[in-house]
Structure 1
Amino acid sequence: MNKIVLIIKREYLSRVKKRSFLLVTFLVPLAIIGIYGLTIYLTARSFENSKATVHVIDQSGLFSGKIESTKNITFLPVATAENTANQREQLLDADGKNFLLIIPSDFATSSRAELISRETASLTVQGEISRKLENVLRDIAFTNAGIDRATVESIRPEVTLAAKEITDEGEKDSSAGAAMGIAMSLSILVYICLFLYGSQVMRGIIEEKNSRIVEVIISSVKPFQLMMGKIIGIGLVGLTQFILWIFLSTTLMGVASAGLIDGQDLKAKVEQQQALSNGEAAQDRSQMGMLGTVKQELDKVDFRTIITTFLLYFFGGYLLYSALFAAVGSAVDSETETQQFMFPITIPLLFTYILSFGVLVNDPHGPLSFWLSMIPFTSPIAMLVRIPFGVPAWEIGLSLVLLIGGFILTTWVAARIYRVGILMYGKKASYKELVKWFRYKG
């Protein structure tokens, strides 16, 4: 046991002390927040740059003085008599984003118009122009039918559905939208990280095997001790990195939120909204803005349970899959030879990852979701996708017990392959060879 602890300490400290580890650990949260900030900035700029001028040639006569300019689009009427080829060229050659909208005389029946430009108009511009024309046609249809459109528009009831979840402690608010977003994020994160840290185990074994360092090491320790030490040591590195990422991201997001909005005012608005009736809540939500709505939905999520289970399933899934990666690393002499063994290992995770975007999110409590969260090879992703939607404690406990059992069984199988493969050189291993190594006695 002391030898395993020494190997764990060596694997952990040798990686944690690297400059690359420190840079990645502290720069990733900054990079993520920076990417989000840059995305918001560029999105805002794109809306500013989408301002356009639309010259309207109305041959139908239905839209005279009825198309109002918006914040992004300025509509300028053009006399029909000036509708010549030269006039079109002059309009399109003007500075800025210029478009020529031609409304034919039969537009009332055909509902087809032409938008001419030097460059293809964006979907935003096309959609806004289409809505403007549709609104005018709708007004004309209401007038012909003797219907007051203002009355029709005033009859737009908005329903606020307050989702509640019954727990052992009583009822609590729940948010399907926030749960879905968190579930998708966790499935992507776990899928990537299991391979990221598992491949480090495999790569380290291949390097030690090729440099023949492993021959010196196993003269002092057993192959099983070496394998377990490397697996647990690198796993603790990943766990340390995740804990630091969570702490740093939470701190930075708190600082960023404080700079964007007054937290006390936001909290007061949230409490006020919860006390309002459905109709008043809908109106108050629009006043509170997108940021307040997002914060209110996130307040309904049990982040303590999510973070705790994430760390447990990440570490459990890592231990299970890294044992398989260790067996693969001991069976080959280079990373190029690992592909034939990697594909069967990736199938369960890939299958669950794909299902997480459909079946697991749409039916998190169905039979397929339940069994996927119980099978050790699929539970690290399946259960983390289900947890934001609320999972009974007994299911989480049973899943973790099965995951631990799967890790023990997988480690036993991988260790029997590892003890032989780690000393094999120059021979390409096959599945048949792996079976032979597994059956070797001694």
Structure 2
Amino acid sequence: MNNLRLVIEREFYSRVRKRSFWVMTILFPFLMLAIGAVPILLSQDGSDSQRVAVIDHTGKYIKLFQDSQAYSFVTADRPISEYKGENHPEEITAILEIRQDLLEDPSAISLFSFKQLPRGLETYINTTLSSYLTDQKIASFQIPELKEAIQQSKVTIAVTTYKWNEEGDATTASSSMASALGMGLTFLSYIFIMTYGGMVLQGVQEEKKSRILEIMVSSVRPMDMMMGKIIGIGLAGVVQIIVWVVLLTLGSLGLQFFLGVNTSEATGAMSAGGTTELIQGLQALSGINFTMIIVCFILFFIGGYLFYASILAALSATVSSDEDSSQLMLPMVLIMVFSIYAGLASADNPDGSLAFWCSILPVTSPIVMMVRLPFEVPIWQVALSLVLLYLSFVGTSYFGGKIYRVGILMYGKKPSVKELLRWIRYK
């Protein structure tokens, strides 16, 4: 047991003492914050707006187009023929020509440009003109208050979902918010298991190539070496995740202050009725049992990491080159990708057969169960899934240890399946 502790400490400290570990640990949250902040900052800069020259032969439509951060419209100062050729003005992105009344000929409009235009400009023009022409068409029928009648005849249904608790009290619920939360947990579990499982595989290969294992095996049992590596790397991963959570939280608060997100302004906007859906979403989140979800997420992440890491550690000990070890990741990647797709399909039916079985089987449960957790999975299903997952880890670590103790001392030859079975039967 003392040797196991020493291996865990070695694996843990050998990683957290590396400068590259802390560089990536600190840099990753800033990259994630930058991905979210840069588009916002760039969108606030109106200097890159699309400038459109409008040639309106009717004189009725140019006043409809309003400038925005994305587009600005100006009256053309020359015929369209003079815009053609190599000496076109660089400040003009496109030319919109309206040749006659669009109610009489809806095709009498064209948009010319000197490069491929973004889809948003075409959508804005079509929406603006369609709305105006619809009003004109309604007015041409000369029926009093026809437009108001049409508007009032439109009925939109948005059902409000409630959930009863054991006392019979109703709280607001939202399937979209639950699905979004579940998918977020799914991708986090996928990323963490892939990242730290890959670290185990890489760590075994580095030690095998350096031949340090030949020295260590003389004083440490191979099983202790394998489990110490898995646990040590896992603890380093936990430290990294904690730092990420703290930095992302502090960075998000700092960005809100820097970008001018004011709580009082947000409250005023909500009272104006513009964010009713946001309020309902927040109320729906308040009805979710986050304590259970967080606890289950940690348990499934740990179990999934231990399960896959024990398999990768054993298999990586059977190969001697980086090319062969990278191929070992392919089956794991395929299983993880299948789990992601199963999770996406299960979001619409979290109690279906696909969701149930994929959240119970150990190879997919760390991923798929994350989708189901916000939908209040029966506790017996969660318990069964965790028991099977950790029992599978015990099995893979036991048989993986038998493969590991022989494979770490073999070089230059890739064992066959028959040889692996023979290693497992060794006493």
Q: Distance in 2 between matches of 1:415 and 1:171?
A: 52
Partner-residue secondary structure (3-state), 1:116: strand
After superposition, give the CA deviation of every residue in 1:7-45 in whole Å (9 maximum; x if it has no partner). Answer: 112211221222222233233223322321112112333
Cα 1:366/1:67, change in 2 over 3 Å: farther
Cα 1:146/1:75, change in 2 over 3 Å: farther
Larger mean CA deviation between 429-438 and 224-233 belongs to 429-438
Q: Distance in 2 between matches of 1:419 and 1:87?
A: 77
Q: Distance in 1 between matches of 2:269 and 2:290?
A: 22
Cα 1:101/1:269, change in 2 over 3 Å: closer
The offset of 1:389, in angstroms, is: 3.2
Q: Could you tell me which amino acid in structure 2 is paired with residue 372 of structure 1?
A: C
2:358 is the alignment partner of 1:406: no
Q: Distance in 2 between matches of 1:99 and 1:32?
A: 39
After superposition, give the CA deviation of every residue in 1:78-118 in whole Å (9 maximum; x if it has no partner). Answer: 79xx8562376799637343413244678745546321122
2:179 corresponds in structure 1 to 180
Partner-residue secondary structure (3-state), 2:44: helix
The offset of 1:337, in angstroms, is: 0.9
The offset of 1:3, in angstroms, is: 1.6
Cα 1:321/1:221, change in 2 over 3 Å: same
Map residues 8-157 of structure 1 onto 2, 5 A cutoff: 8-45=8-45, 49-58=48-57, 64-65=60-61, 67-72=63-68, 73=71, 85-86=81-82, 93=89, 95-103=91-99, 108=104, 111=107, 113-147=109-143, 148-157=146-155
CA contact (8 A) 1:92 1:98 kept: no
Q: Distance in 1 between matches of 2:337 and 2:198?
A: 16
After superposition, give the CA deviation of every residue in 1:225-253 in whole Å (9 maximum; x if it has no partner). Answer: 11111111111111222123223323333
CA contact (8 A) 1:91 1:98 kept: no
Q: Could you tell me which amino acid in structure 2 is paired with residue 356 of structure 1?
A: G
2:322 corresponds in structure 1 to 335
1:320 aligned to which of 307, 310, 321: 307
Q: Which runs of 5+ in 1 are unaligned?
A: 274-283
Map residues 367-378 of structure 1 onto 2, 5 A cutoff: 367-378=353-364
Partner-residue secondary structure (3-state), 2:328: helix
Partner-residue secondary structure (3-state), 1:362: coil
Larger mean CA deviation between 36-45 and 231-240 belongs to 36-45
1:161 aligned to which of 150, 159, 162: 159
2:198 is the alignment partner of 1:199: yes
CA contact (8 A) 2:16 2:22 kept: yes
CA contact (8 A) 1:53 1:98 kept: yes
Q: Which runs of 5+ in 2 are unaligned?
A: none
Partner-residue secondary structure (3-state), 1:208: helix
Q: Distance in 2 between matches of 1:257 and 1:87?
A: 45
1:348 corresponds in structure 2 to 335
2:230 corresponds in structure 1 to 231
CA contact (8 A) 1:11 1:230 kept: yes
Q: Could you tell me which amino acid in structure 2 is paired with residue 435 of structure 1?
A: L
1:381 aligned to which of 367, 374, 384: 367
Cα 1:399/1:27, change in 2 over 3 Å: same
Q: Distance in 1 between matches of 2:40 and 2:141?
A: 45
2:6 corresponds in structure 1 to 6
Q: Could you tell me which amino acid in structure 2 is paired with residue 220 of structure 1?
A: S
Cα 1:91/1:124, change in 2 over 3 Å: farther
The offset of 1:143, in angstroms, is: 2.5
CA contact (8 A) 2:310 2:397 kept: yes
Larger mean CA deviation between 378-387 and 295-304 belongs to 295-304
Q: Distance in 1 between matches of 2:194 and 2:396?
A: 17
Counting aligned pairs with the same residue, the percent is 33
After superposition, give the CA deviation of every residue in 1:106-131 in whole Å (9 maximum; x if it has no partner). Answer: 87455463211222322111111111
1:277 corresponds in structure 2 to none
TM-score, normalised by the number of residues in structure 2:
0.86
Q: Could you tell me which amino acid in structure 2 is paired with residue 353 of structure 1?
A: I
Cα 1:262/1:328, change in 2 over 3 Å: same
CA RMSD of aligned residues (A): 3.2
Larger mean CA deviation between 365-374 and 429-438 belongs to 429-438
CA contact (8 A) 2:355 2:368 kept: yes
Q: Distance in 1 between matches of 2:86 and 2:280?
A: 47
After superposition, give the CA deviation of every residue in 1:340-386 in whole Å (9 maximum; x if it has no partner). Answer: 433333332221112323x1222122121011111111011101122
TM-score, normalised by the number of residues in structure 1:
0.83
Q: Distance in 1 between matches of 2:353 and 2:109?
A: 52
Q: Could you tell me which amino acid in structure 2 is paired with residue 199 of structure 1?
A: G
CA contact (8 A) 2:362 2:392 kept: yes
Partner-residue secondary structure (3-state), 1:373: helix
1:415 corresponds in structure 2 to 401
Larger mean CA deviation between 102-111 and 394-403 belongs to 102-111
CA contact (8 A) 1:224 1:415 kept: yes
CA contact (8 A) 2:222 2:405 kept: yes
Q: Could you tell me which amino acid in structure 2 is paired with residue 85 of structure 1?
A: S
1:276 corresponds in structure 2 to none
After superposition, give the CA deviation of every residue in 1:257-303 in whole Å (9 maximum; x if it has no partner). Answer: 46644446756986xx6xxxxxxxxxx441x5998787666555544
Q: Distance in 1 between matches of 2:95 and 2:335?
A: 52
Cα 1:258/1:178, change in 2 over 3 Å: farther
2:292 corresponds in structure 1 to 305
Q: Distance in 2 between matches of 1:17 and 1:376?
A: 33
Q: Could you tell me which amino acid in structure 1 is paired with residue 298 of structure 2?
A: L
- How many residues matched? 421
Q: Distance in 1 between matches of 2:422 and 2:403?
A: 9
Cα 1:249/1:304, change in 2 over 3 Å: farther
Q: Distance in 2 between matches of 1:383 and 1:65?
A: 55
